[in-house]
């Protein structure tokens, strides 16, 4: 997408009849949308954002996946400046602890590391060679071939070694303070002309004939009118649900957690370049290290765990001392049946919610913004664009949902909650993927789905889904060369990580917050 005001942007402006865009909500979704629309929409489009200080934001959402770097790059944000401003850290993956129980008396652990794992040969993916090695009694683990995993294990990080022209396969995301991130994007957006209105929306105006939204009225009496609306009002879905009645697909039969408690704690020890997700007796606990504190939370299911016990579990599982009282949040997992209805697109929690197990929510906001820009309507009748937006969004959300369900379905724990998760029906699409993998280790990314083969591979293997045999195509590599091939791959990973400074040293040298 060309930058706002650039040559192509001006051409688009000439065709577009949408002149006034109104964003309702100033959380992560609202300010991400404001920043991106300010950067990319034609220069003549006015952008207003309404937010209520009294209502506030959800205040969580601190771990991301590598695609966020594309968002920042699109905005022209300097990575070090951004990290400094948000008390951010680097993230090489998510460590999953205890999801397969404690088979040998030691809590199971694996990492979903970002980036690649080894390099395939021709048509044969790398992991098929590794499966062959294992079937022959070889001892190397899958993660021996991931530079991100090895770096995470040793608390190391270096950006230079992730350059795409170097075959190291390192990829990274960020962990940051959600409030500081929204503030950072706010100053970016306001500097590019976005007008902020503070106040509570008390009425929504609609066109009598078409039902399009025409404007919102604030408690101060101020009216903010527009041609197109972006609903970033959070769980309440002020425009998309309360006004336009989009409907909600409830996915809690597949992902049964419906509560969370969030609490910050003091930092202890080295700043780990990864997020941790530890399975607890019901649900799981997150740990997100930032420069100034650690974010923690317990995601749980109220049918299996009461709130008081949840608070005990969370506080009992902290590394450092808590810096506040745990803050409760409740949610119903699922999504709006249509995220785009009439002249309104919902982003963020207004569009739906899936728990933060794989840090996907901020990414789904980013993907929604990109899709909105790609389909930005040319005039006030946007039904064709809306249909395409909704079609793509449905596919995207279902694929993420399946990936999350896999973690619950393939667990190896004994508590009643976890047994129930194992026994619950799963979507056919996921069952098929698991069956195919179990049979010969084959994995395919569907269309443009978010998680690629390395992500699925790590969670499947990490949670104990083992293929019965490897793909016979892997036998194309002469047996004598298999060990050498794997040894070279391992040596490469060791060399890459061996040159990295510690994560803390890297931050101190490049982007320490003041």
For residue 440, count CB atoms less than 10 angstroms from its CB and return exposed for 0-12, middle for 13-18, buried for 19 or more: middle
Name which position in 348, 352, 455, 462 contacts ligand FAD (CB under 6 A): 348
Distance CA 98, CA 95 (A): 10
The answer to whether 326 contacts ligand FAD (rule: CB under 6 A) is no
The answer to whether 240 contacts ligand FAD (rule: CB under 6 A) is no
Question: CB of 475: closest distance to ligand FAD in angstroms?
Answer: 42
What is the distance in angstroms between the CA of the first residue and the CA of the last residue of the chain? 34
Question: CB of 35: closest distance to ligand FAD in angstroms?
Answer: 13
Is residue 176 a contact partner of residue 62, using CB atoms and an 8 Å limit? yes
Under rule CB under 6 A, which residues in 193-212 are in contact with ligand FAD?
200-201
Q: Which is nearer to ligand FAD, 329 or 380 (CB)?
A: 329
3-state secondary structure 442-472: CCCCCCCCCCCHHHHHHHHHHCCCCCCCCCH
Say how many residues touch ligand FAD, by CB under 6 A: 39
Question: CB of 338: closest distance to ligand FAD in angstroms?
Answer: 17
Contacts of 258 (CB under 8 A, 6+ apart): 252, 301, 302, 330, 331, 332, 333
Is residue 444 a contact partner of residue 453, using CB atoms and an 8 Å limit? yes
Identify the sign of the CA torsion 472, 473, 474, 480. positive
Q: Which is nearer to ligand FAD, 63 or 263 (CB)?
A: 63
109: left (phi over 0), alpha (psi -120 to 50) or beta: beta
The mark string for 354-393 relative to ligand FAD (x by CB under 6 A, - otherwise) is: --x--x-xx--x----------------------------
Under rule CB under 6 A, which residues in 424-453 are in contact with ligand FAD?
none
DSSP assignment letter at 136: T
The torsion of the CA quartet 506, 171, 151, 319, rounded to 10 degrees, works out to: 80
Q: Which is nearer to ligand FAD, 220 or 383 (CB)?
A: 220
Q: Which is nearer to ligand FAD, 2 or 373 (CB)?
A: 373
Q: Which stretch binds ligand FAD (CB under 6 A): 118-126, 348-356, 418-426, 435-443?
A: 348-356
Q: Which is nearer to ligand FAD, 25 or 42 (CB)?
A: 25
The answer to whether 329 contacts ligand FAD (rule: CB under 6 A) is yes
The answer to whether 181 contacts ligand FAD (rule: CB under 6 A) is no
Identify the sign of the CA torsion 58, 217, 227, 34. negative
Could you list the residues that contact ligand FAD (CB under 6 A)?
Answer: 25-30, 50-52, 55-58, 60-64, 178, 200-201, 232-234, 236, 238, 260, 262, 297, 329, 331, 348-350, 356, 359, 361-362, 365
């Amino acid at each position: 997408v060309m930058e706002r005001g650039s040559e192509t942007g001006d051409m688009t402006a000439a065709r577009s009849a949408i002149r006034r865009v109104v964003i309702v909500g100033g959380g992560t979704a609202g300010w991400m949308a404001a920043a991106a629309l300010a950067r990319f929409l034609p220069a003549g489009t006015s952008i207003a954002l309404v937010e209520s200080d009294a209502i506030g934001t959800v205040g969580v959402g601190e771990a991301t996946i590598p695609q966020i770097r594309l968002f920042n790059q699109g905005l022209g944000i300097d990575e070090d400046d951004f990290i400094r401003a948000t008390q951010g850290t680097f993230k090489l993956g998510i460590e999953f602890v205890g999801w397969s129980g404690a088979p040998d008396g030691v809590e199971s652990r694996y990492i979903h590391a970002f980036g690649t794992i080894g390099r395939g040969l021709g048509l044969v993916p790398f992991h098929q060679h590794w499966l062959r090695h294992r079937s022959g009694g070889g001892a190397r683990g899958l993660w021996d071939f991931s530079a991100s995993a090895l770096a995470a294990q040793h608390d190391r990080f270096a950006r230079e070694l992730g350059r795409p022209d170097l075959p190291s396969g390192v990829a990274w995301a960020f962990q940051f303070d959600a409030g500081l991130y929204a503030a950072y994007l706010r100053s970016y957006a306001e500097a590019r002309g976005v007008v902020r209105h503070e106040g509570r929306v008390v009425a929504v105006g609609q066109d009598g004939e078409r039902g399009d939204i025409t404007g919102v009225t604030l408690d101060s009496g101020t009216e903010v009118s527009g041609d197109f609306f972006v609903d970033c009002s959070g769980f309440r879905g002020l425009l998309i649900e309360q006004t336009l009645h989009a409907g909600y697909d409830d996915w809690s039969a597949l992902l049964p957690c419906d509560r969370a408690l969030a609490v910050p704690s003091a930092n202890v020890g080295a700043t780990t370049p990864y997020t941790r997700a530890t399975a607890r007796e019901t649900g799981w606990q997150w740990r997100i290290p930032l420069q100034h504190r650690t974010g923690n939370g317990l995601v749980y299911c109220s049918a299996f765990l009461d709130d008081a016990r949840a608070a005990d579990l969370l506080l009992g599982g902290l590394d450092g001392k808590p810096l506040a009282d745990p803050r409760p949040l409740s949610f119903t997992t699922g999504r709006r049946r249509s995220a785009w209805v009439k002249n309104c697109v919902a982003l963020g929690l207004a569009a739906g919610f899936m728990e933060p197990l794989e840090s996907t929510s901020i990414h789904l906001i980013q993907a929604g913004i990109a899709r909105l820009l790609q389909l930005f309507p040319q005039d006030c009748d946007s039904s064709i664009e809306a249909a395409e937006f909704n079609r793509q969004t449905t596919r995207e959300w279902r694929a993420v949902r399946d990936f999350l369900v896999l973690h619950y379905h393939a667990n190896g724990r004994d508590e009643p909650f976890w047994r129930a998760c194992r026994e619950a029906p799963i979507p056919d699409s996921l069952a098929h993927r698991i069956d195919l993998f179990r049979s010969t280790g084959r994995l395919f990314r569907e269309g443009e789905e978010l998680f690629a083969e390395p992500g699925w591979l790590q969670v499947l293997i990490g949670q104990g889904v083992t293929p019965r045999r490897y793909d016979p195509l892997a036998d194309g590599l002469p047996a004598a060369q298999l060990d050498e091939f794997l040894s070279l791959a391992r040596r490469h990973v060791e060399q890459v990580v061996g040159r990295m400074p510690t994560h803390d040293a890297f931050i101190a040298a490049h982007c320490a917050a003041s």
